[in-house]
Each structure stands twice: as C-alpha cells, then as structure tokens.
Chain A
Amino acid sequence: MAKVLMKGNEAIGEAAIRAGCLNYFAYPITPQSEVAEYLAKRLPEVNGVFLQGESEVAVGYMIFGAAACGERVMTTSSSPGVSLMSEAISYIAGARCPAVFVNIVRGGPGLGGILPSQGDYFQATKGGGHGDYHMLVMAPDGVQEAVEMTMRAFPLAEKYRGPVMIMGDGLIGQMMEPVEFPDNLYTPPTNKDEWATTGMDRRNSRKKNIVKSLYLDPAILNSHNMLLKSQYDQMKREEVRFEPYNIDGEYKALVVSYGTMSRVCKTAIDNMKTEGFEVAMIRPQTLFPFPEKAIHEAAAKESCQCVVSIEMSMGQMVEDVDRSVKGQKPVTWFGQCGGEVPTPEAVMEHVRSLV
C-alpha cells in the first residue's frame, strides 16, 4: 500500500480498524480527541461501533463489557482520563479480558497541561489501578510505529487475555508523518468460546461462562494471581522489544530513551558522532516488559563509563534502568517535563558533562 500523510491520532484509529477492531468507546480529552473524531466518521463506514461515553470511568467499563463478550475493542485517552479508567483496567486484568488502551500522555500531575509528556510511565508500567497486575506497554517513536504497535496490540491482548497499552505522547498524537498500513500484521481473532460471555446458544454449549475478578477463597485467589504472574513472566521472555542505536562501536556513554524523547536523543547522538564522541542508545519499544538484559549488556561494554535515562518525566524510567544496569556503571537521570521537549543541544551538553 502507498504511503499516506496522517496525523498520529488518526493513524491509530485507522490502524485499529485494519487490525479488525470495529468497536471503539471513548471520552474526549486533549491531546487525543482526534482519534474519536476520526473513528466517529470512519467506523459507521465499516459497520463498526462508535460510542462517546459519559465519562472515562464509564468508558472503561464499556470496554470491559464488550471485551468480556470476546469482541476486539479499543479506547484512547490521555493522562487524567487514563487515571479514571485505571479502575476498569484492574478489573479487566483480574477478569482476564483482552482490550487495548491508548494513552496519548500529557503533562501532570492533576490537570497538568496539554503538551507532550512521559509522566505516566509509572502508571502504565507499575499499575495505576489496584492489585497485582501488569499491562503489556508499547511505546512508539512516531506515527508509523504507532500504527504497527496498535495493530500488534490486539493479538497480544488475546494471547495473554489482558489489557495492552500503547503509550504515546502528545507529539506522537499530534504530528503528521507519512505512514503505510501493513497488511501482514492482521491476525484473525482467536477462539474465545472457552471463557467469553458470547451466549450459550452461539457456543452450542450447556455450560455458562462467567467473567469475573472476585475470588473470595484466599487459596483460589492466590492461584489466580500466580497464573497472572506466570503470564507476566512469559511476557518478559517473549515480548521484549527494543531498538539498539550506535551500539556496535566503542562508546563512552549509554543513553536509554523512548518515544518522542528518543528521536531527539538520536539527533544528539548523530551530532556528537561527527565530533568523534561516541554515545550509544537503547530505545525500549516495550516499557513492560522492560529490555533489562539489553541494557545490562550494553552498559557492560568496557568503554562505557556511564548510563543516563533521558525522559520527559522527572526520573521514572531511571528506576528500571538502574535495576537493569545492576550497579555496573553509574546511572543518572536527565529530563524535562511540562510540555517542552529537551533540545538535542541540551542532551548533548548533558551527556558531555557526564564523561
């Protein structure tokens, strides 16, 4: 298919349709409302379901109800809205339903601002809702990758029967880039007859299916949590994705950065290279599971003197970087939030100061 020029938010909406998701529920919030506007127009053309809910709280449960029927379903929101949906995400994880959540992150805490941020890293990777659960979290660095990750999110959600999150930021959502919609990423929905409330007639079964997260017997709840943990462990083995950058030669510093921030870091690394100052980068494409091993190995290189986590947040991912490096080299944080993305010059100045 030919490339088209599209805004990130609209491309995510189109990618969902191409992935076979024809059900979308959402509540307007800047900077992602274009997804809802695009799908309000587009979904009726493909006999899909579009509904604007009365709140993000309600939307979270519309997603739950639809997902529990075994249908592909997605919502998109931004930080304060995702906080409201986090209760439902916990229930969805507990009840083991596949669903896709997109967070086009804006500045926080509270109302914060409407400009790009990565301040929801903890919320996305460490919970947000209550209880022992994780989501598989993917972080695109541009419109093309946002499309590919959105399309992959549905089969992954079905593979693990749980919520999957695409964590973008305001810049990914708002910017226009040329994008191609790959046909080869479409995967047919998996069989859900064993668990989903599809109705006994449709399954031709006399056994009812119950979708729930309530387990009052402590031993059963424990084994339920052990099952969830085994899935998160499987994600750690099978789903880690990252992009190494300038990693083959001798480098003095290792940068870890993702999303919009990683593109600025690439420019900074390219500029420093022309000055003969080699810096490598690991760009996590999955934030959970986190590319611990890749970062550990990259930090181990003898020439590498230090590791720096560069984020549009106040030192969140740095905790996972530190955990990955395991004391081999000093790990520090550099970043900025509030909506202004650090410039390549600021990154270069900081990285030079470390060595």
Chain B
Amino acid sequence: MGKTFSKPEALSDAHTHYCPGCTHGIAHRLVAEVIDELGIRGRTVGIAPVGCAVMAYNYFDCDFQEAAHGRAPAMATGMKRVRPDLMVFTYQGDGDLASIGMGEIVHAANRGEKFTTIFINNAIYGMTGGQMAPTTMPGQRATTAPRGRDVEDTGMPIRMCELLSSLATPAYIARQALITPKHVNKAKKSIKRAFEYQVAHKCFTFVELVSTCPTNWGMTPLDALKWAEDTLIPYYPLGEFKQPGKPE
C-alpha cells in the first residue's frame, strides 16, 4: 500500500516552538505543500519576519533569509530584482507587516514586485507577549490595552487586503482563514494561486490568513477558533479581493 499522507519536502524535521493551538503550523504546512506541488523548492527563498515566525528558517527546508522587523518586502524586492528566477515569499505577522512594515509592504505592492507575501493576522503581537496590533479588534484586551482597545484613542483595526486592493497596480490579493477544515482548504487554494502567479512572473501576490493566538488571547484553542469565527471574520471578510485581469 502506498503512502497517502506525509510531511512535505519543503518542511524540515525540526520541532516548532509554536504554542499549542497556534495556527502557524498549518500555515507553514500549506506553504510547504504548495512549494512541493509546484516543484520549486530548489529555487525558493523564504524571508522570516520578526515575531513568532522569526525562526521559520528552521522549519522550512529551502534557502531562507531573516529580516528586520517589517522589512521583509524590501529584502524580497532586492532579491527579486537581482534574481528574478528565484521564487521568493515573505512570511509576516500583523505587527511586522501592518505596523512597523506598512511602508515597505505598500510600496512593494504598488511597484508590483513579483513575490508572495503570506500575512498571518491574529490580531495581536505574539512573540513580544500580547501587545496591541494595528489589527486588534475594538474592545479586545492586550497587554498594552489592558482595558480593551479604545478606538477613540488608537483608531480602528487596519484591513490590509482592502488597503492594498485600492492600489491601481495589478495584484493578487486574498484573505482566507485557518479556522475550520473548509477554511484551510480555501487557504491552500489561494496560496497556490499566489505562487502560480509568481511562477508566471505575473504580479505581486498577497494572502492574508486570519489566524488564532490562544496564548495571548487568554483562551483555549477551541475558544480561540470560535472567537476568530465570531469576531474576526465579520470584520475581516474572506475572499479574493483582486486578481490580475479581473474587474474589481
């Protein structure tokens, strides 16, 4: 009998440091499966962020760079410009991408840089210990918003897909979730589509993944999944926001 399920080649054998119930592991696996399916591991370079995925270079089995906080899109730009044959993806969280790295992601998207960004939105800073992110929900508690996010004081959560979709440059922009198996299947499809556009040198590609952080949300993994579905998804609608050649 043949093997029906195995670890993707693009993942290493290392044990991850992620907390129980964290969805980073699913996101890593989906990206690795897509790299395997497209047969591009030998010319793929990932860029790890600053944040929980800072050591992603240990978990993937392909070339990797480690960026400064928020700067992965600038590094990816440098790489793709000098080596357009490399398949480059950045893997960034919401503090990294939507706060300190907002300038880099917007300009990379607007130049139509032909790399792929995997954006993990779990509405909080994970690695530094549960501080408020630009994507933290109104009233959501964080260690730097102990009484809950006051939107009068800090504004409303930023919707990155909608913001990037407003740029006139063609791109593939999608938001999916890692909450139910159905969500995960759709997420995989979007990630694959993004990498396929990159392989075809088509456009900038961006997949946001609504994720959970049970540890910093102070919830059990199951409660976290429910909270994400009830609270995050209504504010961060799922779907493909932009595709090259398709009217918006």
Residues of chain A having any CB pair with chain B under 8 Å:
23, 25, 49, 51, 53-55, 57-69, 71, 73, 87-88, 91, 95, 197-202, 208-214
Contact = CB atoms under 8 A, between A and B. Distances in A.
A107 B212 CA distance: 50
B82 A200 contact: no
Contacts of B104: 54, 57-58, 61
Contacts of A214: 54-55, 66
Given A71-B82, A210-B65, 17 more contacts: A25-B81, A54-B107, A57-B74, A57-B104, A61-B71, A65-B77, A65-B78, A68-B65, A69-B86, A87-B68, A197-B65, A199-B44, A199-B45, A208-B62, A212-B66, A213-B66, A214-B54
A73 B66 contact: no
Interface string B76-106: 1111011101100000000000000001100
A201 to B, nearest CB: 3
B103 A57 contact: yes
B140 to A, nearest CB: 29
A73 B78 contact: yes
A133 to B, nearest CB: 14
A61 B74 contact: yes
A62 B77 contact: yes
Contacts of B60: 208
Nearest to B47: A65
A51 B63 contact: no
A274 to B, nearest CB: 54
Interface of B: 41-45, 47-48, 54-55, 57, 60-68, 71, 74-79, 81-83, 85-86, 103-104, 107
A135 B150 CA distance: 45
A197 B43 CA distance: 9
Given A61-B74, A61-B104, A200-B41, A71 B83 contact: yes
Contacts of B57: 210, 212
6 contacts: A25-B78, A53-B77, A68-B65, A69-B45, A208-B63, A208-B64
B166 to A, nearest CB: 17
Contacts of A58: 71, 74, 77, 103-104, 107
A64 B75 contact: yes
B106 to A, nearest CB: 8
A62 B81 contact: yes
Nearest to B88: A65
